[in-house]
Structure 1
Amino acid sequence: MKQLLAWKQKIWLQLAVIYTRYLLGGTFVFASLIKLKGHRFTMIPGAGSPFHSPEHLFETLYQSGLYWQFLGLMQFVAGLLLLTQRYALLGALLFLPIMANIYVITLSYEFGYTSVITGTMLLATVGLLVWDWNRLRIVVNQPVVGLPASAFFERKLWEVVGLVLFLYTAGYRALTDQYNLLLWLGVCVVVGLIGLLTSWVLHRRLKGTS
């Protein structure tokens, strides 16, 4: 535990956690809106499509109606919580069972290399929970371990960046069905870089005045 607390003081690892939350949260918000709007995730399978195919799976889920939108809602909430940074631990706890389910689905059906992506996202989620293990210890009857606040990690800037990413992603997906993935990703990267540059300038100024 002492080693974990020591690692949590490293700025590069703090940045990795912050931007992993942004990446996972933004991905879920982006994917959830089409379900909340009641639209299909893929095209209707053709007559020649094998029954054991991703298209048939998504079409079955879509035809369920309420369940399809419920899946979207849970993805939306988990993604939003991660993007807030403040409530990221709750978001990671909600994210884990959803992501595990998605990963098993990609293994069970013919998704090709998609299982590699979903598997990486699942491991990243586990990593976020390991990061907060000093707070999660209570679930196994271990005392919560306190940690000195990190001015860099706790900076309100990260919450603002997360809010901007959420508003842009949710707004973009809510207003259009024909999306441009590269456009969305590019704007998110620019927002993330602006946040990173701003945080680094503030960090250097604080070090210079201390």
Structure 2
Amino acid sequence: MLQLLAWKQKIWLQLAVIYTRYLLGGAFVFASLVKLKGHRFTTLPGGGAPFHSPEHFFETLYQSGLYWQFLGLMQLVAGLLLLTQRYALLGALLFLPIVANIYVITISYDFHYTSVITGAMLLATGALLAWDWNRLRIVLNQPVIPLPAPAVEARKVWELVGLVLFLYTAGYRVLTDRYNLLLWVGGCVAVGVGALLLAWRVPGRRKGTP
């Protein structure tokens, strides 16, 4: 238990978990809005593409209508939960089957190196669940070990930053269909860096919080 407590209190690990949640959650929110708006994931229709091709696959999903929007809704909910930090464990649990399904799709079709990205997302989701394994022990009828909340991770500033990232990402995708990926990424990076600086400047409420 002491070893687990020591690992959970490492500042660099807490920051890695926080920003991994931002990265995965932001990516899902960004990808979800195009589906909820009823638009294609790709710019070119895939109806005339070969049957076993990514273009044809996405076109089939798009033509399903309600199912296409349902996929977007689930991605939006999972991404939002991760961004909140407070409900990140629930978000990771919802995120896991979705990203696992996406990974299998990318290795089943010729997505080139996209499977590397989706595989990394799947591993990152597993790492997030491992971080909260103590809270998941109850699923296996194992007692939850009472541990103090990690000092850095428990700070409220991360929840506020998650809300800002959600509003920025969702607002950007709602307002425009022709997006600039670098503009979105740049804005998110600026918010993330600003949050890190703010977290170190504002005094923590908990004893021992940096």
- 1:28-66: per-residue Cα shift (whole Å, max 9, x none)? 00000000000001121264x321111100000000000
Residue 4 of structure 1 deviates from its aligned partner by 2.9
CA distance in 2, matches of 1:207, 1:130: 26
* Cα distance change of structure 1 residues 157 and 37 upon mapping to structure 2, 3 Å threshold: same
CA distance in 1, matches of 2:3, 2:109: 40
Stretches of structure 2 that go unaligned for 5 or more consecutive residues are none
Q: Is the 8 A contact 2:9 2:151 kept in 1?
A: no
Stretches of structure 1 that go unaligned for 5 or more consecutive residues are none
Residue 153 of structure 1 deviates from its aligned partner by 1.4
Q: Is the 8 A contact 1:161 1:195 kept in 2?
A: yes
SS of corresponding position for 1:51: coil
Residue 172 of structure 1 aligns with which residue?
172
- 1:156-210: per-residue Cα shift (whole Å, max 9, x none)? 1000000000000000001110000000000000000000111122369x99999
- Give matches, 1:76-91, under 5 Å: 76-91=76-91
Q: Is the 8 A contact 1:21 1:83 kept in 2?
A: yes
Note if 1:99 corresponds to 2:120: no
Q: Is the 8 A contact 1:36 1:69 kept in 2?
A: yes
Residue 200 of structure 1 aligns with which residue?
200
Q: Is the 8 A contact 2:14 2:150 kept in 1?
A: no
Residue 7 of structure 2 aligns with which residue?
7
Q: Please report the RMSD computed on the Cα atoms of aligned residues, expressed in angstroms.
A: 2.1
Q: Is the 8 A contact 1:152 1:203 kept in 2?
A: no
CA distance in 2, matches of 1:147, 1:209: 16
Which residue identity is paired with 1:44? P
Normalised by the size of structure 1, how large is the TM-score? 0.94
Which residue identity is paired with 1:133? W
SS of corresponding position for 1:110: coil
Note if 1:39 corresponds to 2:36: no
* Cα distance change of structure 1 residues 53 and 145 upon mapping to structure 2, 3 Å threshold: same
Range that drifts further, 35-44 or 194-203: 194-203
Which residue identity is paired with 2:188? C
